[in-house]
Chain A
Amino acid sequence: MNRSLDNLLFGDPTPNAQAITRATNWAVAALLLALAIGIAFRFHAAGQFDAGLWEFFAWTTTWTFLAKGLLGTLASAAMAAVIALVFGLVLLVGRMSRLRLARWPSVVAIELLRGVPTLLLIYVCFLVLPSVGIKLSTYWMLTLPVGLSTAAMVAEVYRAGVLAVPRGQTAAARSLGLTEAQVFFHVVFPQALRYIVPALVAQLVIVVKDTTFGYVVTYGELMQNAKVLIANYNALVPVYLVVAVLYCLVNHAISRASQRLGRSMH
Protein backbone atom coordinates (compact mmCIF):
# COMPACT_ATOMS: atom_id res chain seq x y z
CA MET A 1 0.00 0.00 0.00
CA ASN A 2 1.28 3.48 -0.88
CA ARG A 3 1.95 5.65 2.14
CA SER A 4 1.20 9.34 2.06
CA LEU A 5 4.07 11.83 2.18
CA ASP A 6 3.21 13.09 5.66
CA ASN A 7 3.15 9.51 6.89
CA LEU A 8 6.56 8.89 5.36
CA LEU A 9 7.93 12.11 6.81
CA PHE A 10 6.61 11.73 10.31
CA GLY A 11 5.47 8.09 10.46
CA ASP A 12 6.83 5.21 12.55
CA PRO A 13 7.99 7.41 15.42
CA THR A 14 10.04 6.14 18.31
CA PRO A 15 8.15 5.88 21.68
CA ASN A 16 9.89 9.09 22.71
CA ALA A 17 8.72 10.93 19.55
CA GLN A 18 5.19 9.54 20.09
CA ALA A 19 5.12 11.07 23.58
CA ILE A 20 6.27 14.42 22.16
CA THR A 21 3.54 14.29 19.47
CA ARG A 22 0.89 13.51 22.12
CA ALA A 23 2.06 16.38 24.31
CA THR A 24 2.12 18.79 21.35
CA ASN A 25 -1.37 17.64 20.35
CA TRP A 26 -2.68 18.53 23.81
CA ALA A 27 -0.81 21.85 23.81
CA VAL A 28 -2.24 22.81 20.39
CA ALA A 29 -5.74 21.72 21.45
CA ALA A 30 -5.47 23.81 24.64
CA LEU A 31 -4.24 26.81 22.65
CA LEU A 32 -7.15 26.52 20.20
CA LEU A 33 -9.64 26.14 23.04
CA ALA A 34 -8.21 29.26 24.70
CA LEU A 35 -8.55 31.08 21.38
CA ALA A 36 -12.20 29.98 21.04
CA ILE A 37 -12.95 31.10 24.62
CA GLY A 38 -11.20 34.41 23.91
CA ILE A 39 -13.37 35.01 20.82
CA ALA A 40 -16.54 34.07 22.73
CA PHE A 41 -15.51 36.46 25.52
CA ARG A 42 -14.96 39.22 22.94
CA PHE A 43 -18.48 38.58 21.59
CA HIS A 44 -19.86 38.75 25.13
CA ALA A 45 -17.95 41.92 26.00
CA ALA A 46 -19.20 43.58 22.80
CA GLY A 47 -22.78 42.80 23.85
CA GLN A 48 -23.35 40.27 21.07
CA PHE A 49 -24.73 37.62 23.43
CA ASP A 50 -27.35 39.77 25.16
CA ALA A 51 -30.95 38.59 25.66
CA GLY A 52 -32.13 40.41 22.51
CA LEU A 53 -29.95 38.21 20.33
CA TRP A 54 -31.52 34.95 21.51
CA GLU A 55 -34.94 36.52 21.07
CA PHE A 56 -33.95 37.62 17.56
CA PHE A 57 -32.96 34.11 16.55
CA ALA A 58 -36.03 32.61 18.24
CA TRP A 59 -38.32 34.54 15.88
CA THR A 60 -39.67 32.56 12.99
CA THR A 61 -39.48 35.67 10.80
CA THR A 62 -35.68 35.74 11.12
CA TRP A 63 -35.32 32.22 9.76
CA THR A 64 -38.12 32.66 7.21
CA PHE A 65 -36.33 35.75 5.89
CA LEU A 66 -32.98 33.97 5.71
CA ALA A 67 -34.59 30.93 4.06
CA LYS A 68 -36.22 33.22 1.48
CA GLY A 69 -32.80 34.76 0.83
CA LEU A 70 -31.28 31.33 0.38
CA LEU A 71 -34.06 30.41 -2.06
CA GLY A 72 -33.39 33.65 -3.96
CA THR A 73 -29.70 32.75 -4.12
CA LEU A 74 -30.45 29.25 -5.39
CA ALA A 75 -33.03 30.50 -7.93
CA SER A 76 -30.55 32.98 -9.38
CA ALA A 77 -27.67 30.46 -9.29
CA ALA A 78 -29.76 27.76 -11.02
CA MET A 79 -30.79 30.09 -13.87
CA ALA A 80 -27.23 31.46 -14.18
CA ALA A 81 -25.99 27.85 -14.42
CA VAL A 82 -28.48 27.10 -17.21
CA ILE A 83 -27.39 30.24 -19.11
CA ALA A 84 -23.75 29.26 -18.61
CA LEU A 85 -24.26 25.69 -19.85
CA VAL A 86 -26.25 26.72 -22.94
CA PHE A 87 -24.34 29.87 -23.90
CA GLY A 88 -21.07 28.09 -23.10
CA LEU A 89 -22.00 25.49 -25.71
CA VAL A 90 -22.75 28.23 -28.26
CA LEU A 91 -19.36 29.83 -27.54
CA LEU A 92 -17.66 26.44 -27.83
CA VAL A 93 -19.23 25.70 -31.22
CA GLY A 94 -18.18 29.15 -32.44
CA ARG A 95 -14.68 28.79 -30.92
CA MET A 96 -14.12 25.44 -32.67
CA SER A 97 -15.73 26.42 -35.95
CA ARG A 98 -13.65 26.57 -39.13
CA LEU A 99 -15.50 29.74 -40.16
CA ARG A 100 -13.51 32.78 -39.12
CA LEU A 101 -16.72 34.79 -38.94
CA ALA A 102 -17.94 32.48 -36.17
CA ARG A 103 -14.59 31.80 -34.51
CA TRP A 104 -13.29 35.31 -33.91
CA PRO A 105 -16.42 36.75 -32.24
CA SER A 106 -16.47 33.69 -29.97
CA VAL A 107 -12.78 34.10 -29.06
CA VAL A 108 -13.32 37.80 -28.31
CA ALA A 109 -16.48 37.07 -26.27
CA ILE A 110 -14.72 34.35 -24.25
CA GLU A 111 -11.66 36.52 -23.53
CA LEU A 112 -13.82 39.52 -22.64
CA LEU A 113 -16.25 37.65 -20.38
CA ARG A 114 -13.43 35.70 -18.68
CA GLY A 115 -11.21 38.73 -18.32
CA VAL A 116 -13.68 41.16 -16.78
CA PRO A 117 -14.87 40.97 -13.15
CA THR A 118 -18.47 39.80 -12.76
CA LEU A 119 -19.10 42.83 -10.57
CA LEU A 120 -18.20 45.13 -13.47
CA LEU A 121 -20.69 43.28 -15.71
CA ILE A 122 -23.34 43.71 -13.00
CA TYR A 123 -22.61 47.44 -12.92
CA VAL A 124 -23.07 47.56 -16.70
CA CYS A 125 -26.52 45.93 -16.37
CA PHE A 126 -27.39 48.09 -13.37
CA LEU A 127 -26.00 51.52 -14.35
CA VAL A 128 -25.20 51.55 -18.05
CA LEU A 129 -27.95 49.58 -19.82
CA PRO A 130 -30.85 51.70 -18.41
CA SER A 131 -29.18 54.79 -19.94
CA VAL A 132 -29.48 53.19 -23.40
CA GLY A 133 -33.10 52.21 -22.80
CA ILE A 134 -32.64 48.59 -21.70
CA LYS A 135 -34.27 47.96 -18.32
CA LEU A 136 -33.87 44.60 -16.62
CA SER A 137 -35.46 43.37 -13.40
CA THR A 138 -33.14 43.02 -10.39
CA TYR A 139 -33.24 39.23 -10.88
CA TRP A 140 -31.86 39.50 -14.43
CA MET A 141 -29.44 42.30 -13.50
CA LEU A 142 -27.77 39.71 -11.25
CA THR A 143 -28.43 36.44 -13.09
CA LEU A 144 -27.49 37.52 -16.62
CA PRO A 145 -23.96 38.84 -15.85
CA VAL A 146 -23.23 35.89 -13.55
CA GLY A 147 -24.47 33.44 -16.22
CA LEU A 148 -22.55 35.10 -19.05
CA SER A 149 -19.37 35.38 -17.03
CA THR A 150 -19.55 31.68 -16.13
CA ALA A 151 -20.44 30.74 -19.74
CA ALA A 152 -16.97 31.82 -20.86
CA MET A 153 -15.39 29.58 -18.21
CA VAL A 154 -17.73 26.74 -19.12
CA ALA A 155 -16.84 27.11 -22.83
CA GLU A 156 -13.17 26.60 -21.95
CA VAL A 157 -14.05 23.60 -19.76
CA TYR A 158 -16.07 22.12 -22.65
CA ARG A 159 -13.15 22.76 -25.01
CA ALA A 160 -10.71 20.92 -22.74
CA GLY A 161 -13.14 17.97 -22.69
CA VAL A 162 -13.62 17.96 -26.47
CA LEU A 163 -9.86 18.05 -27.07
CA ALA A 164 -9.48 15.09 -24.71
CA VAL A 165 -11.65 12.86 -26.97
CA PRO A 166 -9.32 10.81 -29.23
CA ARG A 167 -9.23 12.05 -32.85
CA GLY A 168 -9.83 8.53 -34.15
CA GLN A 169 -13.41 8.77 -32.88
CA THR A 170 -14.10 11.75 -35.14
CA ALA A 171 -12.43 10.07 -38.11
CA ALA A 172 -14.45 6.87 -37.55
CA ALA A 173 -17.72 8.79 -37.29
CA ARG A 174 -16.91 10.80 -40.43
CA SER A 175 -16.11 7.62 -42.35
CA LEU A 176 -19.56 6.32 -41.41
CA GLY A 177 -21.02 9.30 -43.27
CA LEU A 178 -22.09 11.46 -40.31
CA THR A 179 -22.19 15.21 -40.86
CA GLU A 180 -19.92 17.50 -38.86
CA ALA A 181 -22.78 18.51 -36.54
CA GLN A 182 -23.80 14.87 -36.03
CA VAL A 183 -20.20 13.93 -35.21
CA PHE A 184 -20.00 16.73 -32.66
CA PHE A 185 -23.35 16.26 -30.93
CA HIS A 186 -23.65 12.44 -31.12
CA VAL A 187 -20.04 11.28 -30.80
CA VAL A 188 -17.64 13.90 -29.42
CA PHE A 189 -19.73 15.95 -26.99
CA PRO A 190 -21.33 13.05 -25.03
CA GLN A 191 -17.85 11.61 -24.43
CA ALA A 192 -16.38 14.99 -23.55
CA LEU A 193 -19.12 15.46 -20.95
CA ARG A 194 -17.81 12.45 -19.04
CA TYR A 195 -14.45 14.14 -18.59
CA ILE A 196 -15.77 17.54 -17.64
CA VAL A 197 -18.78 16.97 -15.39
CA PRO A 198 -16.74 17.41 -12.16
CA ALA A 199 -15.25 20.68 -13.47
CA LEU A 200 -18.72 21.86 -14.47
CA VAL A 201 -20.08 21.12 -11.01
CA ALA A 202 -17.13 23.02 -9.52
CA GLN A 203 -18.20 26.02 -11.63
CA LEU A 204 -21.49 25.92 -9.71
CA VAL A 205 -19.65 26.94 -6.55
CA ILE A 206 -18.38 30.03 -8.37
CA VAL A 207 -21.93 30.79 -9.56
CA VAL A 208 -23.33 30.55 -6.02
CA LYS A 209 -20.51 32.78 -4.73
CA ASP A 210 -21.10 35.35 -7.48
CA THR A 211 -24.81 35.67 -6.68
CA THR A 212 -23.66 37.37 -3.45
CA PHE A 213 -23.49 40.53 -5.56
CA GLY A 214 -27.30 40.51 -5.55
CA TYR A 215 -27.30 43.16 -2.83
CA VAL A 216 -25.67 45.60 -5.30
CA VAL A 217 -28.87 45.52 -7.39
CA THR A 218 -31.13 44.92 -4.34
CA TYR A 219 -32.25 41.48 -5.54
CA GLY A 220 -33.61 39.46 -2.60
CA GLU A 221 -30.87 36.88 -2.18
CA LEU A 222 -29.17 35.79 1.04
CA MET A 223 -26.81 38.75 1.40
CA GLN A 224 -29.51 41.32 0.58
CA ASN A 225 -31.98 39.75 3.02
CA ALA A 226 -29.26 39.66 5.66
CA LYS A 227 -28.70 43.40 5.12
CA VAL A 228 -32.44 44.07 5.55
CA LEU A 229 -32.51 41.99 8.75
CA ILE A 230 -29.49 43.87 10.09
CA ALA A 231 -31.01 47.23 9.23
CA ASN A 232 -34.23 46.32 11.05
CA TYR A 233 -32.87 44.53 14.10
CA ASN A 234 -29.24 45.67 14.53
CA ALA A 235 -27.71 42.19 14.97
CA LEU A 236 -24.79 42.57 12.62
CA VAL A 237 -22.22 39.98 13.70
CA PRO A 238 -24.56 37.00 14.36
CA VAL A 239 -26.49 37.49 11.10
CA TYR A 240 -23.33 37.66 8.98
CA LEU A 241 -21.98 34.58 10.78
CA VAL A 242 -25.18 32.64 10.00
CA VAL A 243 -24.99 33.81 6.37
CA ALA A 244 -21.33 32.73 6.17
CA VAL A 245 -22.20 29.30 7.57
CA LEU A 246 -25.04 28.90 5.04
CA TYR A 247 -22.77 29.81 2.11
CA CYS A 248 -20.07 27.46 3.37
CA LEU A 249 -22.57 24.60 3.76
CA VAL A 250 -24.05 25.03 0.27
CA ASN A 251 -20.66 25.41 -1.44
CA HIS A 252 -19.06 22.63 0.57
CA ALA A 253 -21.92 20.30 -0.40
CA ILE A 254 -21.42 21.17 -4.08
CA SER A 255 -17.64 20.67 -3.80
CA ARG A 256 -18.11 17.28 -2.18
CA ALA A 257 -20.65 16.25 -4.82
CA SER A 258 -18.16 17.30 -7.49
CA GLN A 259 -15.38 15.22 -5.90
CA ARG A 260 -17.64 12.19 -5.60
CA LEU A 261 -18.79 12.52 -9.17
CA GLY A 262 -15.18 12.79 -10.31
CA ARG A 263 -14.21 9.66 -8.36
CA SER A 264 -17.20 7.65 -9.60
CA MET A 265 -16.40 8.57 -13.21
CA HIS A 266 -12.84 7.33 -12.93
Chain B
Amino acid sequence: MGSVFQLWAGYGSAFAQALVLTWKLTAISFAAGFSLGVVVAVARLFPLRPLRFVLTAYVEIFRNIPSVALLIFIVYALPDLDALIDYEPSVLLTLTLVCSAFTADYLRAGINTVDGGQVEAGLSLGMRPMAIISVVVLPQALRAVVQPMTSLLIALMLSTSLASQVPFPGRELTALVAKIANDSAAGMSAFAVAAAMYVASGLLIAWAGATLEKKVRILR
Protein backbone atom coordinates (compact mmCIF):
# COMPACT_ATOMS: atom_id res chain seq x y z
CA MET B 1 0.00 0.00 0.00
CA GLY B 2 2.87 2.29 0.89
CA SER B 3 4.36 1.89 -2.56
CA VAL B 4 1.07 2.98 -4.13
CA PHE B 5 1.15 6.23 -2.10
CA GLN B 6 4.80 6.69 -3.05
CA LEU B 7 3.92 6.17 -6.70
CA TRP B 8 1.01 8.59 -6.44
CA ALA B 9 3.32 11.22 -4.98
CA GLY B 10 5.68 10.86 -7.96
CA TYR B 11 3.25 10.22 -10.80
CA GLY B 12 -0.08 11.56 -9.44
CA SER B 13 -0.46 14.31 -12.02
CA ALA B 14 0.64 11.96 -14.84
CA PHE B 15 -2.09 9.49 -13.80
CA ALA B 16 -4.69 12.28 -13.67
CA GLN B 17 -3.68 13.43 -17.16
CA ALA B 18 -3.71 9.84 -18.44
CA LEU B 19 -7.20 9.30 -17.06
CA VAL B 20 -8.46 12.51 -18.66
CA LEU B 21 -6.87 11.50 -21.99
CA THR B 22 -8.50 8.04 -21.74
CA TRP B 23 -11.88 9.65 -21.12
CA LYS B 24 -11.32 12.17 -23.95
CA LEU B 25 -10.48 9.44 -26.46
CA THR B 26 -13.50 7.42 -25.31
CA ALA B 27 -15.92 10.36 -25.52
CA ILE B 28 -14.81 11.61 -28.94
CA SER B 29 -14.67 8.20 -30.58
CA PHE B 30 -18.01 7.15 -29.07
CA ALA B 31 -19.76 10.34 -30.22
CA ALA B 32 -18.34 9.98 -33.75
CA GLY B 33 -18.81 6.20 -33.91
CA PHE B 34 -22.36 6.37 -32.59
CA SER B 35 -23.37 9.06 -35.12
CA LEU B 36 -21.78 7.15 -37.99
CA GLY B 37 -23.38 3.90 -36.77
CA VAL B 38 -26.86 5.50 -36.79
CA VAL B 39 -26.30 6.72 -40.37
CA VAL B 40 -25.13 3.24 -41.47
CA ALA B 41 -28.06 1.51 -39.73
CA VAL B 42 -30.59 3.83 -41.38
CA ALA B 43 -28.88 3.64 -44.79
CA ARG B 44 -29.11 -0.16 -44.61
CA LEU B 45 -32.91 0.15 -44.61
CA PHE B 46 -32.97 1.72 -48.07
CA PRO B 47 -33.89 -0.68 -50.87
CA LEU B 48 -30.61 -0.08 -52.75
CA ARG B 49 -28.81 -3.39 -53.19
CA PRO B 50 -25.30 -2.12 -53.97
CA LEU B 51 -25.47 0.25 -51.00
CA ARG B 52 -26.72 -2.51 -48.71
CA PHE B 53 -23.98 -4.84 -49.93
CA VAL B 54 -21.28 -2.27 -49.23
CA LEU B 55 -22.68 -1.33 -45.82
CA THR B 56 -23.01 -4.99 -44.80
CA ALA B 57 -19.39 -5.51 -45.85
CA TYR B 58 -18.44 -2.37 -43.86
CA VAL B 59 -20.12 -3.69 -40.70
CA GLU B 60 -18.68 -7.21 -41.09
CA ILE B 61 -15.15 -5.94 -41.77
CA PHE B 62 -14.94 -3.50 -38.87
CA ARG B 63 -16.66 -5.89 -36.46
CA ASN B 64 -14.31 -8.74 -37.25
CA ILE B 65 -10.96 -7.05 -37.79
CA PRO B 66 -8.88 -6.70 -34.60
CA SER B 67 -8.72 -3.03 -33.61
CA VAL B 68 -4.95 -3.13 -33.24
CA ALA B 69 -4.51 -4.52 -36.77
CA LEU B 70 -6.70 -1.69 -38.06
CA LEU B 71 -4.71 0.91 -36.12
CA ILE B 72 -1.40 -0.42 -37.38
CA PHE B 73 -2.73 -0.41 -40.95
CA ILE B 74 -3.88 3.20 -40.62
CA VAL B 75 -0.69 4.41 -38.95
CA TYR B 76 2.00 2.45 -40.77
CA ALA B 77 0.50 1.26 -44.08
CA LEU B 78 -1.61 4.22 -45.22
CA PRO B 79 1.43 6.53 -45.58
CA ASP B 80 2.59 4.11 -48.29
CA LEU B 81 -0.61 5.08 -50.15
CA ASP B 82 0.24 8.77 -49.62
CA ALA B 83 -2.45 9.11 -46.94
CA LEU B 84 -0.68 10.40 -43.86
CA ILE B 85 -2.82 10.73 -40.73
CA ASP B 86 -1.43 11.98 -37.43
CA TYR B 87 -1.26 9.57 -34.44
CA GLU B 88 -4.14 10.95 -32.40
CA PRO B 89 -6.61 11.14 -35.32
CA SER B 90 -5.48 7.61 -36.30
CA VAL B 91 -6.44 6.23 -32.88
CA LEU B 92 -9.72 8.14 -32.96
CA LEU B 93 -10.44 6.93 -36.52
CA THR B 94 -9.77 3.31 -35.53
CA LEU B 95 -12.04 3.46 -32.49
CA THR B 96 -14.71 5.37 -34.44
CA LEU B 97 -14.82 2.81 -37.26
CA VAL B 98 -15.06 -0.13 -34.86
CA CYS B 99 -17.67 1.63 -32.70
CA SER B 100 -19.77 2.57 -35.75
CA ALA B 101 -19.85 -1.04 -37.01
CA PHE B 102 -21.03 -2.38 -33.64
CA THR B 103 -23.53 0.48 -33.23
CA ALA B 104 -25.00 -0.25 -36.68
CA ASP B 105 -25.29 -3.93 -35.77
CA TYR B 106 -26.96 -3.32 -32.40
CA LEU B 107 -29.30 -0.70 -33.89
CA ARG B 108 -30.36 -3.18 -36.55
CA ALA B 109 -31.49 -5.47 -33.74
CA GLY B 110 -33.16 -2.49 -32.04
CA ILE B 111 -34.97 -1.55 -35.26
CA ASN B 112 -36.26 -5.12 -35.52
CA THR B 113 -37.96 -4.76 -32.11
CA VAL B 114 -40.32 -2.12 -33.55
CA ASP B 115 -43.60 -3.65 -34.60
CA GLY B 116 -44.43 -3.51 -38.30
CA GLY B 117 -47.93 -2.29 -37.46
CA GLN B 118 -46.46 1.03 -36.35
CA VAL B 119 -44.90 1.55 -39.78
CA GLU B 120 -48.19 0.66 -41.45
CA ALA B 121 -49.99 3.11 -39.15
CA GLY B 122 -47.50 5.83 -40.07
CA LEU B 123 -47.91 5.12 -43.78
CA SER B 124 -51.70 5.17 -43.49
CA LEU B 125 -51.42 8.61 -41.85
CA GLY B 126 -49.57 9.78 -44.95
CA MET B 127 -46.12 9.96 -43.38
CA ARG B 128 -43.15 9.55 -45.69
CA PRO B 129 -40.70 6.64 -45.03
CA MET B 130 -37.91 8.94 -43.78
CA ALA B 131 -40.32 10.65 -41.38
CA ILE B 132 -41.42 7.25 -40.07
CA ILE B 133 -37.78 6.21 -39.58
CA SER B 134 -36.79 9.37 -37.73
CA VAL B 135 -39.96 9.92 -35.68
CA VAL B 136 -41.29 6.40 -35.07
CA VAL B 137 -38.64 3.72 -35.63
CA LEU B 138 -35.32 5.27 -34.59
CA PRO B 139 -36.35 6.69 -31.18
CA GLN B 140 -37.75 3.29 -30.14
CA ALA B 141 -34.75 1.43 -31.53
CA LEU B 142 -32.37 3.71 -29.61
CA ARG B 143 -34.29 3.14 -26.39
CA ALA B 144 -34.09 -0.62 -26.92
CA VAL B 145 -30.30 -0.68 -27.29
CA VAL B 146 -29.19 1.31 -24.23
CA GLN B 147 -27.81 -1.80 -22.50
CA PRO B 148 -25.67 -3.11 -25.41
CA MET B 149 -24.53 0.43 -26.15
CA THR B 150 -23.39 0.78 -22.52
CA SER B 151 -21.34 -2.41 -22.88
CA LEU B 152 -19.94 -1.06 -26.15
CA LEU B 153 -18.95 2.21 -24.45
CA ILE B 154 -17.12 0.26 -21.72
CA ALA B 155 -15.38 -1.89 -24.35
CA LEU B 156 -14.43 1.30 -26.23
CA MET B 157 -13.03 2.84 -23.04
CA LEU B 158 -10.86 -0.27 -22.58
CA SER B 159 -9.85 -0.17 -26.26
CA THR B 160 -8.28 3.27 -25.79
CA SER B 161 -5.31 1.25 -24.45
CA LEU B 162 -4.50 0.80 -28.17
CA ALA B 163 -3.09 4.32 -28.11
CA SER B 164 -0.10 2.84 -26.25
CA GLN B 165 0.87 1.12 -29.51
CA VAL B 166 1.71 4.32 -31.37
CA PRO B 167 3.98 7.25 -30.39
CA PHE B 168 1.03 9.20 -29.08
CA PRO B 169 1.42 12.81 -27.85
CA GLY B 170 0.58 12.42 -24.14
CA ARG B 171 0.13 9.07 -22.43
CA GLU B 172 -3.12 7.31 -21.68
CA LEU B 173 -3.31 4.87 -18.76
CA THR B 174 -1.84 1.74 -20.39
CA ALA B 175 1.05 3.65 -22.00
CA LEU B 176 1.80 5.30 -18.65
CA VAL B 177 1.92 1.92 -16.85
CA ALA B 178 4.24 0.53 -19.57
CA LYS B 179 6.51 3.58 -19.17
CA ILE B 180 6.61 3.34 -15.37
CA ALA B 181 7.28 -0.44 -15.55
CA ASN B 182 10.12 0.25 -17.99
CA ASP B 183 11.64 3.10 -15.98
CA SER B 184 11.33 1.81 -12.42
CA ALA B 185 10.41 -1.17 -10.26
CA ALA B 186 6.98 0.33 -9.48
CA GLY B 187 5.22 -1.62 -12.24
CA MET B 188 2.84 -3.52 -9.96
CA SER B 189 1.76 -0.41 -8.05
CA ALA B 190 1.30 1.45 -11.35
CA PHE B 191 -0.84 -1.44 -12.59
CA ALA B 192 -2.93 -1.33 -9.39
CA VAL B 193 -3.58 2.41 -9.76
CA ALA B 194 -4.39 2.16 -13.49
CA ALA B 195 -6.60 -0.90 -12.91
CA ALA B 196 -8.52 0.96 -10.20
CA MET B 197 -9.03 3.88 -12.61
CA TYR B 198 -10.21 1.64 -15.44
CA VAL B 199 -12.57 -0.33 -13.19
CA ALA B 200 -13.97 2.87 -11.63
CA SER B 201 -14.54 4.37 -15.11
CA GLY B 202 -16.26 1.17 -16.24
CA LEU B 203 -18.50 1.06 -13.16
CA LEU B 204 -19.39 4.74 -13.66
CA ILE B 205 -20.40 4.08 -17.28
CA ALA B 206 -22.36 0.96 -16.24
CA TRP B 207 -24.20 2.95 -13.55
CA ALA B 208 -25.01 5.78 -16.00
CA GLY B 209 -26.19 3.22 -18.58
CA ALA B 210 -28.40 1.40 -16.06
CA THR B 211 -29.94 4.70 -14.90
CA LEU B 212 -30.62 5.77 -18.49
CA GLU B 213 -32.05 2.34 -19.32
CA LYS B 214 -34.46 2.53 -16.39
CA LYS B 215 -35.65 5.94 -17.56
CA VAL B 216 -36.14 5.16 -21.24
CA ARG B 217 -37.11 1.48 -21.10
CA ILE B 218 -40.21 0.66 -23.16
CA LEU B 219 -42.56 -1.68 -21.30
CA ARG B 220 -44.24 -3.90 -23.87
Interface residues, chain A, CB within 8 Å of chain B? 2-6, 8-11, 21, 24-25, 28-29, 32, 42-43, 45-46, 48, 111-112, 114-120, 123-124, 127-128, 131-132, 205, 208-210, 212-213, 216, 223, 236-237, 240-241, 243-244, 247-248, 251-252, 255
A237 CB → nearest B CB, Å:
5
- The complex places the Cα of A117 from the Cα of B61 at a distance, in Å, of 22
Q: Across the interface, which residues of B come within 8 angstroms of A213, CB to CB?
A: 68
* Chain A at the B interface: SS class: helix
| In-complex Cβ contact of B116 among A2, A21, A209, A240 (8 A) | A2
Contacting pair A128 B66 (CB below 8 A): no
Interface residues, chain B, CB within 8 Å of chain A? 44-51, 54, 60-61, 63-70, 72-73, 76-77, 80-82, 111-112, 114, 116, 119-120, 123, 129, 132-133, 137, 154, 158-162, 164-165, 173-174, 177-178, 181-182, 185, 187-188, 191, 194-195, 198-199, 202-203
A16 CB → nearest B CB, Å:
15
Contacting pair B67 A209 (CB below 8 A): yes
16 A-B residue contacts at CB 8 Å?
A6-B46, A6-B47, A9-B133, A28-B48, A32-B50, A115-B158, A119-B161, A119-B162, A120-B177, A120-B195, A131-B185, A205-B64, A248-B60, A251-B63, A252-B64, A255-B63
| In-complex Cβ contact of B129 among A4, A9, A124, A255 (8 A) | A9
Contacting pair B174 A119 (CB below 8 A): yes
Contacting pair B81 A5 (CB below 8 A): no
* A132 to chain B: closest residue by CB: B188
* Chain B at the A interface: SS class: helix
Q: Across the interface, which residues of A come within 8 angstroms of B80, CB to CB?
A: 46, 48, 236-237
Contacting pair B54 A127 (CB below 8 A): no
Q: Knowing A29-B50, A48-B81 are in contact, say whether A115-B69 is a contact too (CB < 8 A).
A: no
Contacting pair A128 B188 (CB below 8 A): yes
Told that A2-B116, A8-B116, A118-B158 touch, could you supply 6 new A-B pairs with CB distance under 8 A?
Answer: A48-B80, A119-B162, A128-B181, A132-B188, A210-B66, A223-B68
Q: Across the interface, which residues of A come within 8 angstroms of B178, CB to CB?
A: 123, 127
Q: Knowing A9-B133, A116-B199, A247-B66 are in contact, say whether A240-B181 is a contact too (CB < 8 A).
A: no
B94 CB → nearest A CB, Å:
12
- The complex places the Cα of A251 from the Cα of B61 at a distance, in Å, of 10
Q: Across the interface, which residues of A come within 8 angstroms of B199, CB to CB?
A: 111-112, 115-116
B93 CB → nearest A CB, Å:
15
* A208 to chain B: closest residue by CB: B66
A130 CB → nearest B CB, Å:
9
* B158 to chain A: closest residue by CB: A117
Q: Knowing A115-B198, A117-B161 are in contact, say whether A223-B188 is a contact too (CB < 8 A).
A: no
- The complex places the Cα of A4 from the Cα of B44 at a distance, in Å, of 13
- The complex places the Cα of A246 from the Cα of B198 at a distance, in Å, of 32
Contacting pair A247 B77 (CB below 8 A): no
B123 CB → nearest A CB, Å:
7
* B62 to chain A: closest residue by CB: A248
Contacting pair B50 A247 (CB below 8 A): no
- The complex places the Cα of A134 from the Cα of B178 at a distance, in Å, of 17
Contacting pair B68 A212 (CB below 8 A): yes
B147 CB → nearest A CB, Å:
12
- The complex places the Cα of A252 from the Cα of B63 at a distance, in Å, of 9
